[in-house]
Amino acid sequence: MESMIETFIRYLERERQYSIHTQEAYRRDLEQFHDYLVQSSGRSSVDPCAITKSECRNFLSGLVSHGFNRRSVARKLASLRAFFKYLLRTGQIDKDPTLNVVSPRKGDYLPEFLREEEIQKALEKVDIQSNVGIRDRTILEFFYGTGVRLSELVELNVQDVHSETGLVSVIGKGRKERVLPLGRNLMALIKQYLPARRMMMGKAETNAFFLSQKGKRLSARGVQWIVRHRLEQVSEKTRLSPHVLRHTFATHLMEHGADLKAVQELLGHASLSTTQVYTHMTIDRLRQIYHQAHPRADKSSASGRSTSH
| Residue of 243, 280, 287, 309 with catalytic role | 243
**C-alpha 27, offset from chain centre:** 16
Please choose, from the candidates 161, 157, 110, 146, the residue with its C-alpha nearest in 3D space to the C-alpha of residue 266. Answer: 146
- Respond yes or no: is residue 66 known to be catalytic: no
- Helix then strand count (H, E) for the chain reads 13, 3
- Respond yes or no: is residue 269 known to be catalytic: yes
Q: Please give the average per-residue pLDDT across 174-181, as a whole number.
A: 91
Partner residues linked to 208 by β-bridges = 157
pLDDT band for 188, please (50, 70, 90 cuts): very high
User: Helix H segments across 15-149?
Assistant: 20-41, 53-65, 70-89, 116-125, 131-146
pLDDT band for 308, please (50, 70, 90 cuts): very low
Neighbours of 190 (CB within 10 A): 20
Please choose, from the candidates 178, 179, 197, 181, the residue with its C-alpha nearest in 3D space to the C-alpha of residue 139. Answer: 197
Whether the Cβ atoms of residue 211 and residue 200 lie closer than 8 Å to each other = yes
- Respond yes or no: is residue 173 known to be catalytic: yes
| Residue of 27, 228, 269, 287 with catalytic role | 269
Residue 161: is its pLDDT beyond 90? yes
Please choose, from the candidates 199, 175, 248, the residue with its C-alpha nearest in 3D space to the C-alpha of residue 19. Answer: 175
Q: What is the CA radius of gyration of the chain?
A: 22
What is the distance between the alpha carbons of residues 272 and 286, in angstroms, rounded to a whole number? Answer: 21
Q: pTM higher than 0.75 for the full model?
A: no
| Residue of 36, 144, 193, 278 with catalytic role | 278
Q: Taking the domains of the chain in order of start, what are their residue ranges? A: 2-89, 116-288
What is the distance between the alpha carbons of residues 167 and 210, in angstroms, rounded to a whole number? Answer: 17
- Respond yes or no: is residue 144 known to be catalytic: no
| Residue of 21, 115, 121, 173 with catalytic role | 173
- Respond yes or no: is residue 278 known to be catalytic: yes
Cα separations in angstroms, 136 against 66, 128, 130, 143, 226? 35, 8, 10, 11, 7
Q: Cα-flanking dihedrals φ and ψ of residue 162, to 5°?
A: -100, 90
Q: How many CA atoms lie within 13 A of 157 on its CB side?
A: 6
| pLDDT tens per residue across span 258-285 | 888 999 999 999 888 778 777 766 666 6
Q: Please give the average per-residue pLDDT across 37-41, as a whole number.
A: 83
Higher pLDDT, 170 or 257: 170
> How high is the pLDDT of residue 274?
78
Higher pLDDT, 238 or 169: 169
- Respond yes or no: is residue 246 known to be catalytic: yes
Whether the Cβ atoms of residue 141 and residue 189 lie closer than 8 Å to each other = yes
> How high is the pLDDT of residue 177?
92
Q: Right CATH number for 2-89 from 3.40.50.300, 1.10.150.130, 1.10.3720.10, 3.30.1300.10?
A: 1.10.150.130
| pLDDT tens per residue across span 110-124 | 567 898 999 999 999
| Residue of 34, 246, 247, 291 with catalytic role | 246
> How high is the pLDDT of residue 286?
65
Rounded to the nearest 5 degrees, what angle is found at the Cα of 152, between the Cα atoms of 73 and 209?
A: 145
Residue 302: is its pLDDT beyond 70? no
Sign of CA dihedral 79, 81, 84, 88: negative
Least confident piece of the model among 28-37, 153-162, 276-285: 276-285
> How high is the pLDDT of residue 284?
64
> How high is the pLDDT of residue 69?
74
CATH superfamily of 116-288: Intergrase catalytic core (1.10.443.10)
Residue 26: is its pLDDT beyond 70? yes
> How high is the pLDDT of residue 89?
94
| Residue of 34, 135, 137, 149 with catalytic role | 149
